[in-house]
């Protein structure tokens, strides 16, 4: 089963943990980052068949910062950890930029917090930036913005961020690379009898019992955060693979369909997951009424909703809110994420995109609701 999940994946989020990227605390592991960069570049170029879109979520800022500041032990004060992360992030970004450039691959630094992704407008902004980077064939390298948050540093958990990014871009697979070959029935550092788990259902509560905390002083989250991340990623239909980051050619072999690591299979498919989320979204803040032409385009051709087809805007909503799209008779024909707040949307009704800049004072998306962010109900 591992085989088809990764072999067929087109959009992959790879998360590398602190314990791996820093080689147990001795600064950044240049050789390992070089290896992952080579493999990421090969995946983007489609060597071996299909081109993939890849996003790297990488930890390592604190460990690199500690090295640069000459600190031999991890400070306990949060503000010191934040300072170390700020210092180390320079080196981390620089290392990926250098290694990806050696592969003739562009890279981009993106720093996010969980709160950013909980905020509807920031969520949409982060999503469109990341999707644009992927379209440009650039590899986004993401870490937490440790300067403005403290919880993540306390828990040392980039696994959750990896899952949130997988949700954000609707990845097919989340690959969590760590210092173990995958999930065992118990922490293999503590229990020599622990058995390897090849495959399980993401979200199976039995997995949480198997997973313990971090085994090293560098990593903090341990296996439990990976199990929870897999459950979260499964919420948008992404399966998760947990594998050893130093396995030779790990990413390429996974993409070829080799069964390495632990596969945690998502129980719902991507499209179904998104659809369910939209449909279950009870907090509709408003709606737009569209003309017959727009209704037909949505229903029949699966097109995005453009403001030119809108005749009225109801309610008070913000960019990123879920809104209903209704036909002239009031029947809900679709539901999706608004690209414009209600006040702006009212100004854009019946207007072509060429006029948006004049009407709003800035140029933005031509769609009111993009088809990727919309569920159309069958008549």
Ligand X SMILES: N[C@@H](CCC(=O)OP(=O)(O)O)C(=O)O
Residue carrying the six token digits 């999706």: 336
Rule CB under 6 A: which of 14-53 touch ligand ADP? Answer: 17-20
3-state SS assignment for residue 146: coil
Check binding of 323 to ligand ADP (CB under 6 A). no
35 backbone dihedrals φ, ψ, rounded to 5°: -65, -45
Q: How many residues bind ligand X (CB under 6 A)?
A: 17
Site string for ligand X, 187-206 (x = CB under 6 A): --------------------
For residue 55, give Cα distances in angstroms to 61, 175, 278, 356. Answer: 17, 10, 25, 32
Quick check: 264 and 202 in contact, CB under 8 A?
yes
Check binding of 286 to ligand ADP (CB under 6 A). no
CB count within 10 Å of CB 258 equals 16
Q: For ligand ADP, which stretch binds (CB under 6 A), given 176-184, 303-311, 312-320, 335-343?
A: 176-184
The partner residues of 337 in beta bridges, in order of sequence, read: 322
* Separation between Cα atoms, residue 176 and residue 14, nearest integer Å: 6
Q: What, of ligand ADP, ligand X, none, does residue 223 touch, CB below 5 to 8 Å by kind?
A: ligand ADP
Instruction: Give binding residues as ranges.
Output: 15, 59, 146, 158, 178-179
284 backbone dihedrals φ, ψ, rounded to 5°: -70, 125
Q: What, of ligand ADP, ligand X, none, does residue 61 touch, CB below 5 to 8 Å by kind?
A: ligand X
For residue 110, give Cα distances in angstroms to 133, 150, 165, 167. Answer: 10, 18, 11, 16
Which of 143, 180, 289, 342 touches ligand X by CB under 6 A? 143
Which of 2, 6, 41, 61 touches ligand X by CB under 6 A? 61
Q: What, of ligand X, ligand ADP, none, does residue 366 touch, CB below 5 to 8 Å by kind?
A: none
Q: Which lies closer to ligand X via its Cβ, residue 219 or residue 320? A: 219
* Separation between Cα atoms, residue 240 and residue 102, nearest integer Å: 29
Check binding of 60 to ligand ADP (CB under 6 A). no
State in angstroms the smallest separation of the CB of 21 from ligand ADP. 8
Quick check: 25 and 254 in contact, CB under 8 A?
no
Summarize as ranges the residues that interact with ligand X (CB under 6 A): 17-18, 59-62, 85, 143-144, 146, 156-159, 219-221
Summarize as ranges the residues that interact with ligand ADP (CB under 6 A): 17-20, 178-180, 183-184, 186-189, 210-212, 214-216, 219-223
């Amino acid at each position: 089963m591992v085989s088809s999940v990764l072999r067929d994946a087109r959009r992959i989020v790879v998360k590398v943990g602190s314990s791996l990227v820093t080689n147990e605390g001795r600064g950044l592991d240049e050789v390992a980052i070089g290896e992952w960069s080579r493999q990421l570049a090969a995946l983007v170029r489609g060597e071996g068949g299909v081109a993939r879109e890849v996003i790297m979520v990488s930890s390592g800022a604190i460990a690199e910062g500690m090295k640069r500041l000459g600190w031999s032990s991890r400070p306990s004060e949060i503000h010191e950890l934040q300072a170390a992360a700020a210092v180390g992030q320079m080196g981390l970004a620089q290392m990926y930029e250098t290694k990806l450039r050696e592969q003739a691959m562009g890279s981009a630094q993106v720093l996010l917090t969980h709160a950013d992704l909980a905020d509807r407008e920031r969520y949409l902004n982060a999503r469109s930036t990341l999707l644009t980077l992927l379209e440009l064939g650039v590899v986004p390298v993401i870490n937490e913005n440790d300067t403005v948050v403290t919880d993540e540093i306390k828990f040392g958990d980039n696994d959750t961020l990896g899952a949130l990014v997988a949700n954000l871009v609707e990845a097919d697979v989340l690959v969590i690379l760590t210092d173990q070959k995958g999930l065992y029935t118990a922490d293999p550092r503590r229990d020599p009898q622990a058995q390897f788990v090849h495959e399980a259902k993401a979200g199976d509560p039995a997995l949480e019992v198997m997973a313990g905390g971090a085994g090293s002083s560098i990593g903090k989250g341990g296996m439990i955060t990976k199990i929870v991340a897999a459950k979260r990623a499964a919420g948008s239909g992404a399966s998760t693979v947990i594998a050893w980051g130093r396995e030779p050619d790990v990413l390429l072999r996974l993409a070829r369909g080799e069964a390495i690591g632990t596969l945690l299979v998502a129980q719902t498919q991507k499209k179904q997951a998104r659809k369910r989320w939209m449909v279950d979204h009870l907090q509709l803040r408003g709606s737009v009424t569209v003309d017959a032409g727009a209704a037909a385009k949505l229903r029949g051709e699966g097109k995005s909703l453009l403001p030119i087809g809108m005749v009225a805007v109801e309610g008070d909503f913000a960019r990123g809110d879920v809104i209903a799209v209704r036909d002239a008779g009031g029947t809900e024909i679709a539901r999706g994420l608004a690209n414009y707040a209600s006040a702006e949307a009212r100004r854009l009704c019946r207007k072509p995109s060429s006029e948006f800049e004049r009407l709003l004072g800035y140029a933005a998306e031509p769609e009111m609701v993009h088809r990727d962010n919309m569920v159309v109900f069958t008549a």
